[in-house]
């Protein structure tokens, strides 16, 4: 477990009580944040309440009191229309981020590296293979993100550690501060258009994996399809 200490003292709402949401709540609380947790699913909310999680009904909450709003990647951010919680956050001027954004802020400056992989097809296999090869080479690599393990359930950062992360378009949409040391775009073909509105917007979101890279970082882009060639 990685504690989100960089959010200490901040008030953060987490919408979505699935795997990533629950891990985010634990990481934020361990890091000293004030957390408001909620889900549209009544059963999930009541289960979380019974387990002692900090349930706050976000439908009635004043978002002006928030520093950050953490949205589950499965909840619509833009299309077919923004979720009601997204509308409230935007109206209050609160940043809308995902668990991966908290993670990248937390590990910044620790000496740990990020290898980020996205694409329409093959990203899980590629993520697993890269993690396996790095470990076989004697490096300290862990895989997570959209594949298996939520990022905050990985081991804490340290110099030399490599996080190999599979990132979906939903996750990239909520991770504006990503600075991957190696970013890989496998391929692009029509997918999730209902969530992104158009193929052009879907490609733009996927290209975001490269946006924050520093000089000296590595970008790997397949050129086997029109959309990736345009990004390259």
User: Is residue 218 domain-shared with residue 120, that is, in the same domain?
Assistant: yes
Burial class (CB in 10 A: 0-12, 13-18, 19+), 124: middle
User: Is residue 68 domain-shared with residue 169, that is, in the same domain?
Assistant: no
Final residue of a domain: which of 97, 125, 149?
Answer: 97
- What domain count does the chain have? 2
Determine, yes or no, domain membership for 102: no
Residues 6 or more apart in contact with residue 120 via CB below 8 angstroms: 186, 187, 188, 189, 191
User: Is residue 113 domain-shared with residue 213, that is, in the same domain?
Assistant: yes
- Could you list the pLDDT tens digit for every one of the 232 residues in the chain? 999 999 999 999 999 999 899 999 999 999 999 999 999 999 999 999 999 999 999 999 999 999 999 999 989 998 899 999 999 999 999 999 999 999 999 999 999 999 999 999 999 999 999 999 999 999 999 999 998 799 999 999 999 999 999 999 999 999 999 999 999 999 988 877 888 889 999 999 999 999 999 999 999 999 989 999 999 8
Q: What is the pLDDT of residues 128-169, one digit of tens each?
A: 999 999 999 999 999 999 987 999 999 999 999 999 999 999
Judge contact between 29 and 35, C-beta under 8 A: yes
User: Is residue 33 domain-shared with residue 121, that is, in the same domain?
Assistant: no
Determine, yes or no, domain membership for 104: no
* Catalytic annotation, pick one of 83, 123, 161, 206: 123
Determine, yes or no, domain membership for 43: yes
Give the residue numbers spanning the domain of 223. 109-231
Determine, yes or no, domain membership for 182: yes
CATH number for 19: 3.40.50.720
Task: Give the whole-angstrom CA distance, residue 232 versus residue 226.
Answer: 10
Decide if 79 is catalytic. no
Task: Give the whole-angstrom CA distance, residue 127 versus residue 94.
Answer: 32
Provide the 10 A C-beta neighbour count for residue 130. 19
User: Is residue 22 domain-shared with residue 128, that is, in the same domain?
Assistant: no
User: Is residue 61 domain-shared with residue 82, that is, in the same domain?
Assistant: yes
* Catalytic annotation, pick one of 10, 30, 79, 192: 192
- The torsion of the CA quartet 135, 137, 139, 141, rounded to 10 degrees, works out to -30
CATH number for 203: 3.40.1190.10
User: Is residue 122 domain-shared with residue 145, that is, in the same domain?
Assistant: yes
Judge contact between 170 and 102, C-beta under 8 A: no
* Catalytic annotation, pick one of 88, 146, 161, 187: 146
User: Is residue 114 domain-shared with residue 87, that is, in the same domain?
Assistant: no
Per-residue b or e along 215-229, where b marks 16 or more CB atoms closer than 10 Å to that residue's CB: eeeeeebbeeeebbe
Judge contact between 206 and 188, C-beta under 8 A: yes
Provide the 10 A C-beta neighbour count for residue 232. 13
User: Is residue 68 domain-shared with residue 153, that is, in the same domain?
Assistant: no
User: Is residue 140 domain-shared with residue 49, that is, in the same domain?
Assistant: no
Instruction: Using DSSP, state whether 110 is helix, strand or coil.
Output: coil
pTM: 0.93
Determine, yes or no, domain membership for 20: yes
Final residue of a domain: which of 69, 97, 125?
Answer: 97
Residue ranges of E strands in 41-156: 68-71, 95-97, 113-118, 140-145
Determine, yes or no, domain membership for 180: yes
User: Is residue 35 domain-shared with residue 140, that is, in the same domain?
Assistant: no
Final residue of a domain: which of 97, 130, 146?
Answer: 97
User: Is residue 156 domain-shared with residue 132, that is, in the same domain?
Assistant: yes
Decide if 192 is catalytic. yes
Decide if 187 is catalytic. no
């Amino acid at each position: 477990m990685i504690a989100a200490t960089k959010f200490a003292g901040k008030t953060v709402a987490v919408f979505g009580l699935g795997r990533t949401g629950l891990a985010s709540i634990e990481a934020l609380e361990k890091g000293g944040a004030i957390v408001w947790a909620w889900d549209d699913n009544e059963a999930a909310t009541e289960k979380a309440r019974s387990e002692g999680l900090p349930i706050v009904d976000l439908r009635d909450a004043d978002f002006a009191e928030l520093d950050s709003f953490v949205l589950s990647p499965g909840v619509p951010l833009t299309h077919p229309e923004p979720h009601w919680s997204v509308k409230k956050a935007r109206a209050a001027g609160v940043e809308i981020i995902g668990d991966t954004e908290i993670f990248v802020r937390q590990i910044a400056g620790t000496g740990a590296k990020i290898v980020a992989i996205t694409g329409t097809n093959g990203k899980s296999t590629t993520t697993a293979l890269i993690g396996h090869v790095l470990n076989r080479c004697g490096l300290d690599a862990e895989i997570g993100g959209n594949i298996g393990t939520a990022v905050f359930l990985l081991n804490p950062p340290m110099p030399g550690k490599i996080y190999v992360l599979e990132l979906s378009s939903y996750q990239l949409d909520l991770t504006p501060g990503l600075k991957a040391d190696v970013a890989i775009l496998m391929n692009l073909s029509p997918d999730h258009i209902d969530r992104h509105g158009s193929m052009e917007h879907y490609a733009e979101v996927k290209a975001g994996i490269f946006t924050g890279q520093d000089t000296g970082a590595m970008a790997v882009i397949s050129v086997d399809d029109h959309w990736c060639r345009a990004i390259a």
